[in-house]
Structures are given as structure tokens and as C-alpha cells.
Amino acid sequence: MKAFVYENPMTMPLREVPLPEVGECDVRIAVKAVGICGSDVHGFRGTTGRRKPPIIMGHEFSGVVDAVGEKVTRWKKGDRVLANPLMTCGICENCRKGFPNVCSNRHGLGVDLDGAYAEYVKVREDMVFALPDSLTFEEGAMVEPLGVAMHAVNRTPLLLCESLVIIGAGTIGLLTLLSVRLKGAGKIIMIDTDDDRLAFAKKLGADEIVNSKTTDPLEFVKSATNGRGADGVIEAVGISPTAALSLQIAANGAHVTWIGNSQPMVEINMQQIVTRELTVSGSYGFISEFETAIEAIRSGRIKPMVLVEQVAKLDDVGRLIEDLSAGKINPVKVMIKLD
């Protein structure tokens, strides 16, 4: 089969590789749609250190069951499906306590297991979910990033109509915007450095938008919240300046959620957290939010396809990731369609 194999930073050629072998509890899926995630672009550069070559990236996908192992009972060839890319053990203490997303023995498709920038991908039976007949394959590929955004929103305690600031108007930040509107947030402020992304956020329902290159975001947020700061902040970038900003714009006693994961190390002012009694939480993956995302799209409460600004073929993945990495193109979301 054809697959893009990440071999070294900035090197991800198209290769002919063997079809994934199906174990007794595995499902092989013929990929029909896969989204290009910003984390894959960072992984391509080698800045995150999480993807260990050689590996096939790609974790936001849907498709059709191509083959099943002899012990698989829930799925058959031809079923329309999508898959949770986090493979957990189910027996470690974290899993038993209800936190499988931080499983001590977790593995991830496209991170340390071969993913979906390929014609076929192999997953464990329990990772597979039915794709509702009313959803397209492309909508199915948007479930994973929506689940990630929803988990961050669920990790952020916010009372009805309280203010929230989202830092970063990428795919996850914009899906967070849609999710927090569904939750009932009050004033929502989006901060970014790209005017086009900010205009997009405004169309999606942001009450205020701030370009931090031209406007002091701290002064803006203070002014917009009667001098108090935001009741909640979700940081969806993952670098030192935005991590620091997330603390500065939060109200005393507020909750800050970090979902950005661009760099392994950031520098922050610890006294901001201690003396203002801020609560800072990380947010990784999802738990029940994967299924919640399916229902939100199925019901029409969230329409994630508005974020897809470019559609391409599998053969284009390498070039597109190179162009995204170099800043030559800047679509909110690129979707890959396979025949």
C-alpha cells in the first residue's frame, strides 16, 4: 500500500509498504478521509520529540472496514467506521480510575503506532466506533479534533455566561470556540496573530477578537472584563509567550487550561499561579468526549466542516505538510480524501 513514512525531521517520503497484518483482535480500515493535524506539522519538524521515526503519521480519520481478526465480533467488512487513536491498556491505575487518556501504557496512532496517512490502517477492535450513516467520511475525520477541544472545555470549570479567553485560532482553538458556545459561556474572546483566523473566529461566534501583534492582549482583556480578567482561559498554542499570557489575563482565582502542545518546555512566572491562586490544568486527548463529538456532529449542534478550507488527495500529503511547515499555505484545516 501507499503511505507517507516520517523518517527524520523534515523528511516524510511516499513509500510502498506492506499491508498491515491483522491480529486476532484487530480491524483493518481502508482510509477514506484523514485530516492533517497541526501536531503532525510540528512532529514533521521534530520540535515536539513525540514522534519516533520511522512512523506513519495521521490520527484524524474514518473509513471502511477491510478485514477483521478471528476474535472480532462487533465489526465486519464494509462497515463505515472511525477510530479513537489512543490505545489504552484498561488495567493500569489511571485506566481503572477513569482516566484512560493518561493511561500509563498508552500508545497513539500516528505517534508510536502507524497511522492513517496511508491507504490502510490497523487498529484494535475496541478503538473502533460506528460512523453514523448521516455523516460523511470527512465529518467522521473531524470527530477526533472536536473530541480534543471538548475535553479541554470539560476540563475548564465555567459557570453559565462566565467569560472565557481562547488563545490560538487554529483548528483546536476554533473547535474549542464552537464547543464552549455549546456549553453556555458568556463573553468569548479569541486571541491570535493572524487577522484571517481572527475574522474566521468572529464568524463562528467569538464576541471579541484580538491580534496580539497590534493590540496589548492584557489591556484588552482587562477592559473587556471590567478590570477583573477572564473567568476561564484555554491556551491552544503551547509555547512560552502564550503560556505566560494565559496566566496574565486570567482573573484571580480563575482556571487556566493548557491544551497547546507545540514545545516540550515553556517558561512561566510561578508567582502568578501561587499569589493569585490560579488553577492550571493540562488537557490531553479525550475520554467520553469522542462519543460526544460524534453526537454533536450527527445532531447538527456543531458543524465542523466549516473549518475545512482545502481538500486534497493522499499523494499530496507530503507536499502539503512541507508547505504548512514552511508557512507557504495557511488553511484552517486540510482534509485528505481517498477513493
Q: What is the pLDDT of residues 152-210, one digit of tens each?
A: 999 999 999 999 999 999 999 999 999 999 999 999 999 999 999 999 999 999 999 99
Q: What is the pLDDT of residue 50?
A: 78
The DSSP line for 37-106 is PHHHHHHHHT-S----SSB----EEEEEEEEE-TT--S--TT-EEEE-SEE--S-SHHHHTT-GGG-TT-
For position 299, what pLDDT does the model report?
Answer: 98
* pLDDT at residue 235, rounded to an integer: 98
Residue 203 buriedness (CB in 10 A; 0-12 / 13-18 / 19+): exposed
**Contact, 87 vs 115, CB < 8 A?**
no
Per-residue confidence (pLDDT) for residue 313, from 0 to 100: 97
Q: Could you give the domains of the chain?
A: 2-141+303-337 (3.90.180.10), 147-282 (3.40.50.720)
- Please give the chain's pLDDT, 339 residues, in tens: 999 999 999 999 999 999 999 999 999 999 999 999 998 998 898 877 678 889 999 999 999 999 999 999 999 999 999 999 999 999 999 999 999 999 999 999 999 999 999 999 999 999 999 999 999 999 999 999 999 999 999 999 999 999 999 999 999 999 999 999 999 999 999 999 999 999 999 999 999 999 999 999 999 999 999 999 999 999 999 999 999 999 999 999 999 999 998 878 889 999 999 999 999 999 999 999 999 999 999 999 999 999 999 999 999 999 999 999 999 999 999 999 998
Residue 339: per-residue pLDDT: 85
User: 8: which 3 cell numbers?
Assistant: 527524520
What pLDDT does 228 receive? 96
**Residue 335 has what pLDDT?**
98
Distances (CA, A) of 54 to 45, 58, 82, 124, 215: 14, 13, 24, 21, 43
Proportion of the chain in helix, strand, coil states, percent, rounded to 5: 30, 25, 40
pLDDT in tens, 274-283: 999 999 999 9
CA 179 to chain centre: 13
Are 37 and 331 in contact by the 8 Å Cβ rule? The answer is: no
- CA angle 24-26-31, nearest 5°? 150
Task: Classify 224 as helix, strand or coil.
Answer: helix
What pTM did the predictor assign? 0.95
